[in-house]
Structure 1
Amino acid sequence: MTATDLPVIAAVDGSAHSRQALDWAAQEALRRRLPLMIVHVRPPTRRMSQESQLREAEELLTGSVRRTARLAPELHPSTLAPLDFPAAALVSLSQDASMVVMGSRGLGGFRSLMIGSNSLAVASMAACPVVIVHGEGREEEAEEEVAEAFPDIVVGVAADESSAAVLEFAFATAVTRPGARLRLVHGWTMFTSMLSGGPVFDREAAADAAERSLAEVTAGWQEKYPQVEVVREPVSGSAARTLVTASGTAALTVVGRRKGGEDLGLGLSPVAQTTATHALGPVAVVPC
């Protein structure tokens, strides 16, 4: 299997959030013309026998395949039910996947939490992009594909080479959505301008410097993807707050995984963690 036909993995656990993630994954697999793999991880437990657990997993996967057939009959998904801890299994499978798609919370999640521990753990360690689908967990069955109300892709751009993988994923996503704009968001402050050798007290000059930095980092990508309309948005203030706000009117918000979080002992950068946790729509966390 080559890198161009690695599957989209949809993680399911029977929760409403995972059903929304399955629907999103099926539509994305169709757009990218990739195979779909539906995975239900059976965590080790003493509450039931492995035979009973496997039987439940098979029933869940069969129902998931039927749901996918209603939404995307062109797809013929494969299924897998490994016995392992969910995050560990999905991180391992991510080595041979184009992306992993998960719900923001699973069956064990507290309703007061905006995102589950497994979603954050996989996003922190996966070898491929991880899409966390936020939603209200509605129970409606998906009978047909519904057009996205907001087609734009929003991407958080750091002013250095770490943005290359993020931009590659974002442009490749936008090109599969005709009419979608790609909004490149770069947050700056007077402090970050000073650290990068820019002006310290001249706000207008700092804004110009941020705009130039964004143009330099993103140069060449529009030539590679000429069909994608690009909007560059250097924003004064918190990048995370801007991305969370923008996620409310975006088909997908894309962020890089590691940029400043390593020294704090975090698997995700502060911007990535805030965006993944508080976003109002699907978020892709890209290793970089």
Structure 2
Amino acid sequence: MDLPVVVGTDGSRASLEAVDWAADAAVRRGLSLRIVHAPPPSRDTRPGRSSARAEEICAGAADRAALRSSRLKVEAESLWGEPALALLEASHGASLVVVGHRGLRGGASSPLLGSVATGVVAHAHCPAVVVRGRPDNIAGRKHRITLGFGRRHPEGTAAAEFAFAEAALRRCEAEAVFAWSGADGGRDDERLRRERTVDAALRAAVRIHPGVPLLSHPVAGPTHTALLRASADADLLVLSARPHGSPGPRLGMANGTVLQHAYCPVAVVPRW
């Protein structure tokens, strides 16, 4: 069974941009779109008024998504409870979960990630996308999907296959970006080790999608700096997360920094 693309909305501009992005992603994949609105319970809002507002937000988002393509099947529903928890539950039955970088509760004008987006990308059970960045990047006008590799945990086979599949769907190029320290001692050896690790992670994706042009971009310096620079020329930056249940933080410091400041939408793909 083909799982839908799930997107969260609270009626904010950032969440509606996420609806647009998710609708286009669903159309490219030939999947349906499930819109989830989860207003947190409030003692200050009467049930009837809250229900009417939720229906209005769902209907508006569904109408907006339907305008993206006549072929798109759209379902919208309101789920009571904390938004992040509702979306995490929905991610169990999704091929992809999409959120805006910040909603109404978090101050939509801030460039930093809100609590809902942070919670979803850190704990989703499927690939998760935060829609953020410059208009041209969000609209897909750069014609490049960038795959970022961390230094401490570089394994990214699942992320590589996701990035190449996205590039194939968009008919654009893929770029692999990885950093090494650039220190004087053993610099060439470190770079060669990193290149071998990245090549191994890319091997399956290249074999499955031989028509996708690939750029390899090694950079001396901090990983987060290399990825942030690369995000300025990408339609999507794809990062890897540790599997559920593994020790340590799922995203790591470099990925966390990139999520807060990237110039384009960011996908986080759980490792196998």
> TM-score, length-normalised on structure 1?
0.85
User: 2:162 & 2:204 partners in 1: Cα distance?
Assistant: 15
Q: Which of 111, 114, 119 lines up with 2:112 in the alignment?
A: 114
- How far apart are the structure 2 equivalents of 1:113 and 1:266? 23
Aligned twin of 1:187? 179
Match of 2:122 in 1: 124
Following TM superposition, where does structure 1 have runs of at least 4 consecutive aligned residues deviating by more than 4 angstroms?
Answer: 158-161
Distance in 2 between residues matched to 1:217 and 1:164, nearest whole Å: 5
Change (3 A) 1:12 1:23: same
The answer to whether the Cα contact below 8 Å between 1:100 and 1:130 also exists between their aligned partners in 2 is yes
Deviation at 1:82, TM superposition (A): 0.6
What residue number does 1:286 align with? 269
Contact 2:84-2:120 within 8 A present in 1 as well? yes
**What is the SS of the residue equivalent to 1:123?**
helix
- Partner secondary structure for residue 219 of structure 1: helix
Deviation, structure 1 residue 223: 1.4
Q: 2:215 aligns with which of 215, 226, 231?
A: 231
1:1-288 superposed matches below 5 A? 2=1, 5-110=2-107, 111-135=109-133, 148-158=140-150, 162-178=155-171, 180-189=172-181, 201-258=185-242, 266-288=249-271
Aligned length: 265
Q: 1:113/1:152 Cα in 2 relative to 1: closer, same or farther (>3 Å)? A: closer
Amino acid at match of 1:174: A
**Residues 54, 122 of structure 1: alpha-carbon distance in 2 compared, 3 angstrom cutoff:** same
SS at match of 1:176: helix
Paired residue secondary structure (1:220): helix
TM-score, normalized by length of structure 2? 0.90
Q: Is the contact made by 1:186 and 1:235 (CA closer than 8 Å) also made in structure 2?
A: yes
Corresponding letter in the other structure for 1:162: E
**Structure 1 residue 274, shift from structure 2 partner:** 1.0
Shift in Å at residue 210 of structure 1? 2.5
Cα displacement string for residues 56-76 of structure 1 (whole angstroms, at most 9, x for unaligned residues) = 111111111111222222212
SS at match of 2:170: coil
Distance in 2 (alpha carbons) for counterparts of 1:50 and 1:162: 48
Q: Which amino acid aligns with 2:269?
A: V
Question: CA contact under 8 A between 2:179 and 2:221: conserved in structure 1?
Answer: yes
Q: Using the alignment, how far apart are the partners of 1:147 and 1:85 within structure 2?
A: 29
Work out whether residues 161 and 204 of structure 2, in 8 Å CA contact, stay in contact via their aligned partners in 1: no
Which sits farther off after the overlay, 212-221 or 271-280? Answer: 212-221
Report how far residue 267 of structure 1 moved.
Answer: 4.5
State whether residues 214 and 234 of structure 1, in contact with CA within 8 Å, keep that contact through their aligned partners in structure 2: no
Q: Which runs of 5+ in 1 are unaligned?
A: 138-145, 192-199
Judged with a 3 Å threshold, the aligned counterparts in structure 2 of structure 1 residues 113 and 257 are, in CA distance, closer, same or farther, namely same
Q: 1:136 to 1:151 in 2, by over 3 A?
A: closer
> What is the distance in 2 between the residues matched to 1:233 and 1:79?
41
Q: Distance in 1 between matches of 2:185 and 2:44?
A: 63
Q: Which residue of 2 aligns with 1:140?
A: none
